[in-house]
């Protein structure tokens, strides 16, 4: 049994059972599917890579606390759609105490769940499975005067898995460092290769090819490769425009390595040399980013770091002439939202926007303190809309974000993505060396 699953069981309440489903394949069009992406909680607890599986965790069952329901072996299906572990592989290769065909799951529910007071199950993710669970519950209630005792309390298991996933083990940090290194090297490659006339999609392609070549399963999310004012569109993923001399390019791309994500953004000049106006905005964002990395440490909180980024960026916007007035007033009025409309960072792990709560009470008054083992991104940005009549003309259409992945440690932090420079002079030097 995987270490993570053992620790999950230790935290389950008395007399409880957990049902944790894998993801399903998602139709892309007609009879083709998107590349399969496993459910991160299921993957975290089981390591099982296939779709259409369900883990049932029943600590009361001393002989077989861990049951996996999986797709059965099927020569015809495997010839068409790929190999399956089947029930034998689930036990032999993935440590299940016993395994059955997924086709038996619905009929087995009374046997699996009856007699437990609590059920760990996350509703509203998998509608078909929700329906099976609801049918089981309503069926058993009808029979309540006889011998059926369905669970009376349903608990969302992410209460446990979210906390576990938020605090990375040394083994997880090692995988995240590899993911970060691969993505960092892909960004360096982009700095070396980008030149005017290239298409955004070509840059995307060469970075993704590099990541796979280095052992990543692919990208951690759709890469954002935006030249010129495409950089002011936060989730620009069309990546199909030519890169122009004199423009900046913003690349937000990360790798997925053994399930773990990296998430890096770099912004640099397409022709290798920042214009004075681009450099002015860049220097503001870089200064804020360095200070916010420094603020990502034990003792500080997620909320305080966010407020700090707002304060620093608002000061920067005033300095640049994007905003006019007193910083404190501008913050109160949220004037910065015009140019900085996202958070300064998020948890990172199996998901790019990883599990774990940001606030530890209902009223959102107590923001979570940083603690060793947490990994967060630090990604301030300034985005000036191209048609913004109030901004100095020289800044219109400039979008800059700089993003690194930072591990909180006992005595500060470690930048997992420091391998790719963000120093503007060094970026220019790399670009100059590679275009001679």
Q: Which residues bind ligand GLY (CB under 6 A)?
A: 221, 252, 263, 346, 352, 379, 403
d(CA 297, CA 305): 10
> Which of 39, 252, 280, 404 is the binder for Mn ion (CB under 5 A)?
252
Kindly state whether residue 351 participates in binding Mn ion, applying the rule CB under 5 A: no
Picked from ligand GLY, Mn ion, none, the partner binding residue 39 (CB below 5 to 8 A depending on kind) is: none
- How near is the Cβ of 263 to Mn ion at its closest, in Å? 4
Contacts to Mn ion from residues 389-428, by CB under 5 A: 403
221 touches, from Mn ion, ligand GLY, none (C-beta below 5 to 8 Å by class): ligand GLY
> Applying CB under 5 A, which of residues 181, 204, 263, 404 lies at the interface with Mn ion?
263
Active site residue 167: no
Given the residues 383, 395, 404, 405, the one annotated as active site: 383
Q: Which of residues 87-126 bind Mn ion (CB under 5 A)?
A: none
**Active site includes 383?**
yes
Angle formed at CA 56 by CA 50 and CA 58, multiple of 5 degrees: 150
Nearer to ligand GLY (CB atom), residue 280 or residue 405: 405
**Catalytic: 379?**
yes
**By the 8 A CB rule, do 424 and 279 touch?**
yes
Query: At a CB cut-off of 8 Å and minimum separation 6, what does 141 contact?
Result: 150
CA 425 vs CA 2, 249, 275, 421: distances in Å: 47, 16, 12, 10
Residue of 28, 235, 414, 435 marked catalytic: 235
Closest listed residue to residue 122, CA positions, set 373, 355, 404, 428: 355
For Mn ion (CB under 5 A), the number of binding residues is 4
Torsion angle, alpha carbons of 202, 208, 210, 212, to 10 = -150
| Shortest CB 263 distance to ligand GLY, Å | 5
Spatial separation of the C-alpha atoms in residues 352 and 176, rounded to whole Å:
11
Answer for which of 4, 377, 413, 417 binds Mn ion (CB under 5 A) is 377
Identity of the residue, 185 or 252, whose beta carbon is nearer to ligand GLY in the bound complex: 252
Pairing of the two strands 399-401 and 381-383:
antiparallel
| CB of residue 351 to ligand GLY, shortest distance in Å | 10
The interface partner of residue 315, options being ligand GLY, Mn ion, none and the CB cut-off 5 to 8 Å by kind, is none
Closest distance of CB 403 from ligand GLY, Å:
6
Q: Which of 3, 10, 31, 361 is the catalytic position?
A: 31
Is 403 annotated as catalytic?
yes
Closest listed residue to residue 121, CA positions, set 164, 150, 86: 150
Is 245 in the active site? no
The CA-to-CA distance between both ends of the chain, in Å, stands at 55
Q: Is residue 404 annotated as a catalytic residue, yes or no? A: no
**Binding footprint of Mn ion on the chain (CB under 5 A):** 252, 263, 377, 403
The residues that are catalytic are 31, 235, 252, 263, 342, 346, 353, 379, 383, 401, 403
């Amino acid at each position: 049994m995987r270490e993570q699953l053992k620790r999950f069981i230790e935290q389950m309440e008395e007399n409880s059972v957990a049902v944790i489903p894998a993801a399903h394949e998602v139709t892309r069009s007609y009879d083709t599917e998107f590349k399969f992406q496993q459910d991160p909680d299921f993957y975290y607890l089981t390591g099982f890579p296939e779709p259409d599986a369900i883990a049932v965790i029943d600590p009361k069952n001393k002989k077989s606390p861990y049951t996996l329901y999986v797709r059965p072996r099927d020569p015809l299906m495997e010839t068409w759609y790929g190999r399956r572990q089947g029930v034998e592989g689930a036990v032999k290769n993935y440590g299940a105490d016993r395994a059955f065909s997924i086709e038996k799951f619905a009929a087995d529910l009374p046997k699996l769940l009856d007699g437990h007071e609590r059920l760990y199950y996350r509703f509203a993710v998998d509608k078909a499975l929700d329906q099976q669970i609801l049918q089981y519950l309503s069926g058993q209630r009808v029979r309540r005067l006889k011998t059926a005792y369905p669970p009376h309390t349903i608990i969302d298991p992410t209460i446990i898995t979210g906390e576990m996933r938020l605090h990375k083990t040394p083994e997880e940090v090692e995988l995240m460092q590899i993911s970060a290194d691969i993505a960092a090297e892909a960004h360096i490659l982009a700095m070396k290769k980008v030149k005017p006339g290239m298409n955004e999609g070509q840059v995307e392609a060469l970075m993704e090819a590099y990541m796979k070549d280095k052992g990543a399963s692919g990208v951690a999310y759709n890469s954002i490769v935006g030249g010129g004012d495409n950089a002011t569109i936060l989730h620009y993923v069309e990546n199909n425009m030519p890169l122009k001399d004199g423009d900046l390019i913003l690349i937000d791309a990360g790798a997925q390595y053994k399930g773990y994500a990296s998430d890096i953004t770099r912004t640099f000049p397409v022709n290798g040399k920042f214009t004075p106006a681009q450099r002015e905005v860049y220097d503001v964002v870089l200064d804020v980013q360095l200070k916010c990395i420094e603020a990502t440490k034990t003792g500080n909180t997620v909320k305080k770091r966010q407020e700090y980024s707002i304060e620093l960026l608002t000061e920067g916007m005033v300095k640049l002439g994007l905003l006019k007035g007193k910083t404190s007033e501008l913050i109160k009025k949220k004037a910065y939202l015009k140019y900085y409309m996202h958070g300064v960072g998020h948890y990172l792990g199996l998901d790019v926007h990883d599990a774990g709560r940001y606030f530890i009470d209902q009223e959102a008054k107590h923001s979570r303190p940083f603690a060793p083992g947490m990994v967060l991104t630090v990604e301030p940005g300034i985005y000036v809309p191209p048609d913004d009549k109030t901004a100095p003309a020289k800044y219109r259409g400039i979008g800059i974000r700089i993003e690194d992945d930072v591990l909180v440690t006992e005595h500060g932090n470690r930048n997992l993505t420091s391998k790719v420079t963000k120093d503007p002079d060094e970026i220019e030097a790399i670009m100059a060396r590679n275009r001679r």
